[in-house]
Every structure is written in structure tokens, then in C-alpha cells.
Structure 1
Amino acid sequence: MLAAVFTLVFVAIRAALVPVMPDQPGFSILIPAILLAGLSGGLFTVSLTIILCLAAMWGLSEAFNLTPTVPGAFIAPALIFVLIGATCGVVGASLRYCVRKLYKTHARLQASIAKEHSTSDELRAMINQVSSGIIRTTTDGVILEANEQFARMISRPMDQIIGHNVIGFTHPDDRALTTQRLSDYVTPGQNDWQFEKRYISPDGRTIHVLLDVRSLRHPDGTAYGFVCIVVDVTTARKTEAALSQSRHDFYSVADTIPVMMWLSDNDNINRFVNRAYFEFAGKPVDQVSTQEWKDLLHPDDYATTVNQFVVGLKSRQAFQLQARYRRHDGKYRWVRSILQPRYDRDGVQKGIIGTAFDVTDAVEAATRIQESEARFRAIADSAPAIIWMVDTDGNTEFGNRRFRSTFGGNPPHHLISAIRGMMAPEDLPAFDQTLEDATREERRFSYLGPVHHAAFGTRWLHTEAAPRYDLQGRLAGFTGVSLDVTESQRAERELKRSNERLEERVSAALAEKAAAEAELVRAHRLEAVGRLTGGVAHDFNNLLTVIMGGLEIIRKTDDPARRQKMAEAALAAARRGERLTGQLLAFSRRQTLRPASIDLNALIREGEPLLHKAVGEGMSLQFKLKRGLAPTLVDAAKFEAALINLLVNARDASPSDAQICVETADYVVHPPAAPMLALNLPASDATPASAIHPSDLPPGRYVRVTVADNGSGMTDDVLKRVFEPFFTTKGVGHGTGLGLSQVYGFTRQSGGSISIQSSPDTGTRMNLFLPWHMFSPCPAEATPDTEAEPRPVPDATTEAAADTAPKRLLMVEDDPGVAEVTATFLRSEGFDVDLARNATEALACLEHNHYEFLLSDILMPGGISGIELARRVETQWPDMHIILSSGFPGEVETLRLSAWTFLPKPYTPAQLRTLLAHKKDQTP
């Protein structure tokens, strides 16, 4: 089609030029047609166009007679046309081919460019979507490109990343490492590497990253940059740290638990064992981890245990084993193992997790319990009594052989109901009440009564039952023993009748025995009183001999010096009699005491010089006083006298170079133990063996004062009589025998007691126990128990000058001798004295006269004592000064809380003068 079109067009142009060119073929006009055919259709189109052009030109020549008549005139131009046209056609076809190829190449180039753009966008999208950061940097670390994940990773916008050096984002501790790595991997041959570092976010958060770096190099191998894949491993590192800590905690807990723990694989090789496992095996870790547990099995347990292990594994469930295993010391121990198969996520068994407990003690205890139970059953079955156990509802839990045989070999399910069924109706209320009270109060109960059984008739049963408790301390039931006491009841009735017959004879015998004992006691008392009165009479006879002889000489002699000497001897004898009376009163615990709160340690330290003098120069006196205070409530003077008495006795019983020691210590007397001792507690533990106090010392806290010597000691006979008055082991004239009696009376009157530890040739320890009395170390205030010291008395002449008016005094005294002597002395002192023999006469005198002073005896005839008289006088005449006197000092105890003054007999004129002078000072 292209060839025909091009041929027609250019042939038409030649036809149009015929007038211009009438005699030429004009093939040159057709050359563009050949060229266009080559450009449009290629060589085939060129060949067809040449043929068509030749045919068209031949016809045109014929039609217009364009070819001259010369032969060959058409052929020559035609050949030239063919040659030129072919050349132009080839050129046009070649040009056409080049243009088409160029077009296709352009199209492919455009497609490549479009695909490149698409691929670049996709690659950018993919890079931005990956979970890792990707950056491209220079060899100095300046970031040229980065994806969005990297920006999110370090919490910075892209404009603060591109063009900035990675060193600025790096943790300060990792910057030197980063710089070193950048310089190391620029060198040829180092293309890929990994390392871990930390980045810092703007908010100070640390990001752990793993860098996978690839070097970018020119063809000559020179590095011009790096491409890095940045993986955030912060969570992984935290997880690893937490996992490491968790593993450490697990190992710590596993090693702390006193239970063997292990984890093994399918080959039964231990992959983990704890410290308890190590300690049991006694081997290092590397040996334990590859050890076969079967090697430790006891030979007798090997087959059974291995078989149970195989069966347990096949069950794919947790199972237990108990066998004997050899410990590292060679001893076999009972071990209970709990094993659990472990599986992976796919359910494939990976091994075993196991724990093991050393249950040797429990197994041995269970064995002992079984043996104990067997012994208990054997004992219970051999006992001739009915032994039973019931719960709180009365259900039978145990019965011995006698119990089973009693109920026909088939013990009742509910024992209480069975027993009630065998009792008479009238006995049921008492039995039910006893059982109810015992259950409610959880206590033992006892019941004696008859029961009736078809097999053995009516029998008397004595039942004793005790409560039984569970491990939580709750009442679990009762354990009881029932005895057939029918024969004993019959014997008891017979015995009762026999007792009734013997009662009269026994009563008579007891009365006779009581009379004999009373006579014996009275004889002992008379003997003791005889010894006491004999000693008192002996000493007082000596004193009266001196007094009577001295008075007789005074009456008969006119020599003033002799009279003075005899008067002094008589007065000294009277004072010895006063001291003897005081010692007797101390023994009888009737002496006058002035107790005060004192520290015995301080008192002993203050009196050390006096105590050393009492012992003497040749002996060694030591003091071992307790630390701190030794507080008590005693009369300090009487205590010092008692201590000196003990030291003198220790001195006299010891050799010349002896050692005497004074000790103080705390001592506690515990209350007596309960009548019923605890189970399995020996009776000897109820009273401490170290107790040294007397048995009659009340429980409480005491201060113990001990005087110890290494002298000759005492025999048992001496120890029995050592506190008796006038008993002494010293020679004649070397002791009165009242020293220890006085100490004994003082300690008992002070609320304590005394004990002696002594045996021949071992020395003696005298122990005084005085009640502990804590006090505050503050200045003591006046109390009713303390008696103020009388103030100094002015000289009699001064007193007379100050007050010339005589003071009136009413003296009430039933003893004429005492009244006469005292009245004579008082009148010589300037008092106006009236005498009354009893309280009735005194009240009559008081009704008619005024008196400033009342001096009265306490014990008087007439039914009114001196204390009752003082009460009446204090009520009616409150301004009168009252002085009470008695030769029985025990009366002073009733005067402690009163304001009256007590004057003990015997008293001297000087004591009475001082007391009255003190009362005068108090007279308004």
C-alpha cells in the first residue's frame, strides 16, 4: 500500500511536468518516493516501489511519448534509476531501522526510569518500615541517610540526624570505642563487622544497640562510607539481666532450701543440682552432673526402685519413690523423691524435674511408733483391765483384748451407749452428769457403779478416764480404764464392818496415845523451861550477889571511896542484868527494834574497822559483797551486834591464823512445787538441791549474809542445840550461851531466818536471810516507824533559871518500890508529883487537878491498861505530855503509830531526866 501510494504521487508529479520535460523520462523525480518507501516500509517496500515506478514510467512514456526513438533511451535511465533508487531505498530502510530502534530504546529507557523511581520509592518505604535502624555515613561518621526507625530509636527528628556525626548520639563511655572502630574498618579488607554500643536520647534514656556495619568502597578498594543496620537490643539486655537475676534468685532459693533438687535430661544426666544435692553426694559439681542416681541405691532397694521409676516414666505423670541412698559418708539414708516429667513446647519429653527429702528420721519415728503401738497393744491386751478409747461423740476407737472379750468379741460401735445400756436407771443421771462435766471442762473423770451384762451378771466397774487431744490441742476424746472391782467392793463392805468393830478400840487407843504424846510434849517443854530458868537463875544469882553484897557494904561502911566503888559495882551488875534481859527478849523475839531501810553492803563497809577489831590482828578477815545494793528493812544497830556475835563465834572456833569471810548475795525462795509433778519430771527436781535456807522460810526474795570460817566445825549434836539459850561449847567463864540465841531471835523478828552449814573439821557457814526491801536513795523523811532522837538537854541549873515554876506530873505505877524511887528522883528534879496505883485512881486525880505530864505503866491491875488510859487522856486533855513505860518491850509495837513516848524498863534517872527535859522544851 505504501509503495502504490508513493508511486502514484510521484508519477502524478512527473505527469504534471510533461509539458516542461517532454523529451526526458524524469526518473529522478521518483527518487524521493523510493526514499520515503525505505523510511516507511523497509527494503520490501523499496523493492516494490522501484518495480511500480518502472512500470508506471513505462506506461507514462508510452502515453506521452516521452522516450526518444533512440534504442536504449529508456533502459539506461531506468537502470540508473534502479541503482540510485536502490541506494536511496537502502539508506531510507536503514534510517527507518535506526529510528525504530532508537524509539524502542527510548521507550525502554523511560520504562527503566519509571521502574527505578518506583523501585526507589518501594525501597525507601521498605527501609522505613523495617524494625531496625539503617544509616549511611561517611568514613568520619557523618550521617548521610537514615530511616525513620533510626530516628524513632534515638528519639530525634530527621533534621537533627542527617548531617550530624554519630559520635554526638553515642553514650560518653562508648565514644572512644566508636571512634576506634571507624578508624579500624576504613582499611582495606575490613568490609563487614558487628559491635555493640549505647546511644543517648535527648531525655537521657540509654539505648543498647547492635551495629551490623558494611564498608562502601570505590573500585580501587578505598572506603568512602559505611552502611549500618542498627538493632535496638535494650529490651533484650534488660530481659537478659532480668533472666540472669531470676536465674541467680532461683539458684539462691534452690541452694537455701534444705531439699535436694535436680533437673535431668532423657539420658538421666543431671543438668542442674542444688547445694543440698551436693552436700548429700559429697562430690564436686562436674562429678555430680554426670552421676547416675542408681549407683547410690541400697542393694536391697535397687530392683524395686528402678522398676517403680520405669513405670512412673511411662505414666507421664508425677510419681514418688522412697528408698535408701548412700550418702557421701557411706551411711544409707531414707529419701523420698517426687519426680515430674518435663516437656518442651511441642510436648516432647525432655527429662525429669525432681525433689528429694531426707525422711530417715520420719521413717525411724514411724518405725518406732509402730513398735510402740505394737508394744502398747501387747501391754493393753495383756492387762486384766478393760482399756478403751472413744472420740468426743462416744464412738469406739480402740479396745483391748479384755474389752473385746467382754463384749463377745464384737466391740460396740458406740461404747458410751453400750455402757449406759448396762446400767440401772437410777444410776444414769449421775453417770451422765459426770460425763457431761468432764467433756465440758476437759478434765479427768472417775465413776464407780454396778453394770449388768447377760454373760457375767451384775459386776462393779471402776472407770478412770482422761481427756485426749489432737495435734492442734483440741479435745479428741477420752482414754479410759475400767476395772472389775466387784471383789474389792465385797471386801470393802467386809472391811467396813470390821472397821466398825475396831473403831471403838482404835478410838480408845488413839486417845491413850494422844494423852501420852501430850504428856511427853509437856515434859519436853518443862525440861526446856527448866534449862532456861536454870540459866537465868544462875546468871541473875551472880548479878544479885554483886548487887546485894555491894549494897550491904554501902550500908555498913562510912568510907566514901569504898561506898563509891561498891555503888559502881552494883550498878555494873544491874546493867549486865539489863543486857541479859535484852538477850532473852531478843531470843523470844520481843526486843524493841527500830527498823529502817538500809543497804547492808554500805553498813558493812562503814563498820569494817570495828569488825576487824572484833576478829583480832592475827586472823584474816575478807569481804565478798555483792555488786550493787543489798537493801533490807532492819535495825542497823541490832544487825551490827548480830554480825559481831557471829564474827566472835567464828574467831573462837578457828585457829590463830584462820581466814574468816563475810559475804552478801541475793537469794530467792521459790514457792513449793505443785502436788502433782509434770509427766517424766523426776521428783528430785521439785526442790533444788542447792537450797540452803531453813524449811520454814517463806517464799520471796532475800539478802543472804554469810559468815564463813575454816575452824573446827560442829557435830550433829551441837547443831541441834546451837540456838538454845545458855548452851555453849566454850569453857566456864568464856561465854553466856546467849550470842547465837540473840542472833536467831533478831533474824526471826526481822522477818528472816538463819541456817548453819557445818561439819567437823570443815569449818562453818552461818547464813542470815533478811527480807529484800528496795528503797529510793533519797533523804529519808520522818515516818511513824522511825523515832526521833531526843534533843540535847540543857543543864539543870539553866533550866531552873529559865522556868522556876514547878511542873506537875501524875505518876501511875502499881509497884510501890518503883513508884517510891521514881517519885523521889522526880521531886529532886523540881517536879510536883502525885502517885496513883492504877488507871481508876489516875482518872480521879485528873478530874480534880491539872498536870503537864503523865508517866504511866502499861500493864496495871484494875482492868484498864496504860494504853487505854493514854487514849482517854489524849481525848480529854490533848495538851498533856504522855509517857508510857513497861518492862515488857513487846508493847512498843502497839505504840509505833501514836505520838506517845515509850520509856522501856529498867530505866535510869539520867534517861528519865533527858526525856522530861526534852518534853519541857516542847511545852508552850
Structure 2
Amino acid sequence: MPISGEEHNGLMKTGLNLISQALSIFDSSLNLAVCNRRYQDMFDLPEAYVTAGVSFEETIRLLVRRGEYGPVDDEEEAVRSRVEAARAFVPHYMERLRSNGRWVSVEGFPLPQGGWVTVYTDITEVRIQQQMLRTRSVELSEQLLSNTERLSETNRALSAANTALEAAKNQLAEMEARTRLTTEMMPAHIAHVDRNLRYTYTNRRLSAVIPGRPSQIIGLTGYEALGESSFAKIRPHLARALAGEASVCEFTDADSGRRIRTAFTPDRIGEGPINGVYILSTDITEESQARAAVLQTRKRELAAQLTSGLAHDFANLLTIILGLQTRLEQLDLPEGAAELVTSTLAAARRGGTLTDRIASISGQKQLRPEPVHMPTFLHDLCRLAGPALPDHISLRLQSEPIETPLVLDAGALQDSLLNLILNAKDAIGAVPGTISLHARSIHETWLELAVCDTGCGFSDKALSHAFDPFFTTKGGEGSGLGLSMVYDQATISGGTVRLENLAGGGARVELRLPYRPAPANAPSRLVLLVEDSVEIRETVRDMLLRLGHAVVEAASAAEAEALADVPELDILLTDLHLKGSINGLDLAQKLQKRRALAVGVMTSLPSSAPLRQAADARFPLLAKPFEDRALASFITRVAG
């Protein structure tokens, strides 16, 4: 049975009182924490001076007044100097003659957690024996006696020094253990290499930062631990660090697909030689994905600003041209003129289509992420793409098992892959060929989707400019926006697109999207559904019920306000455009002031509508129409 704190303190006090030496412990504020009875007896201290909390300064002042340290000219200065020496916390050993004629040795040691322990030993008998030896041993020379005394004092001082050294060693070992534990808990790889680029220290986190690498790398070179490709990317920075220059670099590990940021710091003390390099590596894959998405969004916004006015004016001009050409078409035109009018009309209509595509690629893009079961998605994609392919071209699906639902914009991804499959069909042409669709997970960091074909491959110019808007190799039949849209969609999702020609002929287009597993089934919620359309309200209610949620319905803002005090209510899901003077945004803001309530809004308003933009800046927004999976993901996001 464990002993109580009071019993523990009693046992400790009894043990300290059995020690023949005097002992005192003062804390970091120089207040008495612990002492034994021998301490009180040796210095004849009153009870108040052996009570926990008495200050070191008070005790020293009492001893100075008693003459414990001999005669002093300035009492305050004597007290002050001893208190300052104690605050310095420097280990020491000394022997002094007390005012009562007895000799005492004093050993002081600082404590790791702050504070001070002092051990006092009465060495009067040792001193008397030394004196007797000096007076009685006439045969011994004065020099020998002095050496013996000095040796005895040195031995005692050496014993104290050894004790202090052992304490320091224990403190150092404890600090090293704490440091290693701290570094091993960090979500980064910390390492040191010597001048031969061989690892001398690691916190064993390399495999966590870059999957597939060993954890224990001490003794290995950077080339052996990282592999040829990744080591080649950091080697110039290691060379700069060995030359005395700190640096930071970012690189993508080809095997794992992880984006890594690494800092290199020269190992140098003062102006001494450089002994190696300290290395700090962190996984910034998610950061780089988000950064790429933000950058692409900003580029889209800039493109929208530059093209919106131009597209508007161009559309107006095309409208005038179409009108004039239509009027010309109705006139009695000379031979050959009718064909010119027809060609002009076709060109104007194609210009209108092109204007719409420019608006779609440069305008605001609303991602609709939802849980996607990849085997089902890929099967449906192949079934959808099959009828668009001629009989002499076959479509093959080669996919690794990816059973975990992933958060993706299924519609946009389907459009991108269909675009790539149709491009591959055009590249194969009239000869028999094969299109392959590959899907795999890369260390649960990326979802890789690749479309390969047995066609003619990309020209050097196409490899360089394929993602440029309006670049096409199809002559007048292509708009040059297909691959640009694929690139745009992947990038705003935080992914990448890569083109290459295959060694045996043909081409490969690779999409990498962030691998984001869908959250587990959300707990059941009580949802206040506000929708003024009966048909839509019933449809959304049935969706929510199928997802396992309970629903309270309201057909107007007034009904919603009356129902908002239901205690178990978790979520307000309201349409943005409601009948009456209060819209969904006003309702949401009003109810949130009354109680803590998660809010989501749904709308069919276009993205350019001011009310939609105001709501989107304030609350999570779900665009209509939507399916069960999109609603499930939205409710999870709203509930937080």
C-alpha cells in the first residue's frame, strides 16, 4: 500500500536526522526548504531559523552578529557578499575555524531544479591530530608535515570536487535525455553530418518525413540515406554550409512525392573550424499544395479582371455581327455570297463558344469536394468514355485498390480525365491503338491518375507550351483551352500535371491530387432545415434522413425563429433566398446572436450575385444542385 505524503516526509526527516553531518537545502529564492537536527545543533540556531521559508540572508546576519565568521568591520557588507556568492550557485569546498574554536568543512552544490544544498562536517578532531603530529614528531621535517597537511586538505577538496563532478555528470545525462526526447517528438528530421557528409546524429524521424527511408542512419552518408536523386538536390547546400554559409532549400522527393524544406547550418563554435553541418528537414507537402492552390486562384482572379471586360465587348460585337449576317442571309445575294455569309456566321458562332470557354477558365471557380469511392468513380468514367471512342481504340483501366473514400471534386475530375481521354483518341488517329487509365496512391500523400496512349506523342514545342491558353496542335479544330483547363483544375485543388513521351512510343499525362481521406461517418445531428420551396425542402429532408440526421423543417424565416430554441438543435441549414423581408443570411446572423449554432447556407444564385458573395464570406456555402455525398461532406464541414 503506498504511503501518504505525511508519512513520506516523516521518514525523510528521520533519515536526515540520523546523518552525523549538518545539512541544509535552500531553494532558488534562497529560502530554507529542508535541514536536519545536526544543522540546528552545530550552529545553535533558534527554532525560527530552522523552519521552512526562513531566508538565507536572515540566517547569515544572525551568524555574522555572533562572530561565526570572525570580526567584521561592516556587518551589512559581510552579509551582502555572502548572499551574492550564494546566488551565483558555484560549487565550492572550504575549511574554516569557527568562533567557538572548532573547525568545520563546508561543501556546496547547486541543484538542477534551482537551489542549493550545503553539507557541514566537523573536522576538529582531524585538525587536532594534525597538530599533535606536528608537535610530537620531531623526527619529521617541517616540510614533510606541511606537505602532509596540504595533502590531507587536497584530498578532502578533491573528494568534494569529485562529488560535484558526479552531480554535473548526472545533470548532463538528464539534459541529454530530455533533449533527445524533445527532438524525437518533433515532426521534423534533425541531424548532423561531419565534413565527409556522414551522419553522426539523428532524431530518427527521417522515415516519418520521407517515407521509404531508414530511421537509423548514423554512420551512413547522405547519398546512402537519401538516394541519388534527393541527395543531388541538397548536395550544393551542404557544400555551402561546409564553406560557412547557412541556407534553406525546398525539393520534391521523387519516390514519395513529398515536398521537403531543409535548413543547413554550419557546425562552428566562434571563429573555429567548421566541423560539419546541422540539418533540419520538415514535410511541407500540404503547405505547398495549399500555396499552389492560392497562387492559381490569384492568377485566375487576375485573368478574370483582364478578360471580363474584353469578353463582354467581344460578345457584344459578335452579337452585332451575327445579326447583320443573318439579315444578309435573308437578302437576294449574288452567286458565292451566300457561302461567305454562312462561313461568317459559323466563325461568329465559334467565337461565341470561345468567349464562353474563356469566361469559364478565367472566371471564379467553385470547388465542390465530396467523398468519392475511387473504384466506382473509375468504373463510371470508363463506361462514360467508351461510346466516344471508335472501335479500333480500346480503353483499359489499371488501378491499385483504393477503397478509402477520398475528398475530391468528382465533377471537375471527371471532366479533366474525359478531356485527356479524348485528346489521346485524337493523338492515336485512324490506326488501331490503346488508351490506358492508371490510378494509384503514392504513400497516401498523392492520388496519381495517368492517361497513356499509343499515339504519336508530344512534340518538343507541345511539351513546352501545352498548358498555355490557346496553344493547339489541331489547327482550326482546337480551341487550345483543353489542357489549360485540366492544368487549372488540378492546380486550384493543390495538385500538379506532368506530360511526357513514352520510350516505346505514345504519351503520358499524369495528374497528382492531394490524397485526402474522407472523414468517418459523422455523428447524427439535429438540423433545422429552412427552405420555402416544398419540393426542394422534401428532397433535402430525405437526403438528411438517409444520412442519419434528424430534421426540423421551416418554410420561412418566421417559422425558423420560432423553432430555433429547441434545446437539442445542432445545425441551421437555410436557403439563401427566402420569401419575405428576411433572407437566409439575415436569418443566420440573427439566430447566431441568440445561441451557439453551426450554420450552413445553400443557394442556386450565381457566383456573381452580391447576396451569395456576402453569404460565402460569412458562412459555409453549398451550391445547388447537389447530391447526398456533397451534402454529407458539407454537413461535416459545417459541424466542424
* TM-score, normalisation: structure 2: 0.34
Higher-Rg member (1/2): 1
* TM-score, normalisation: structure 1: 0.25
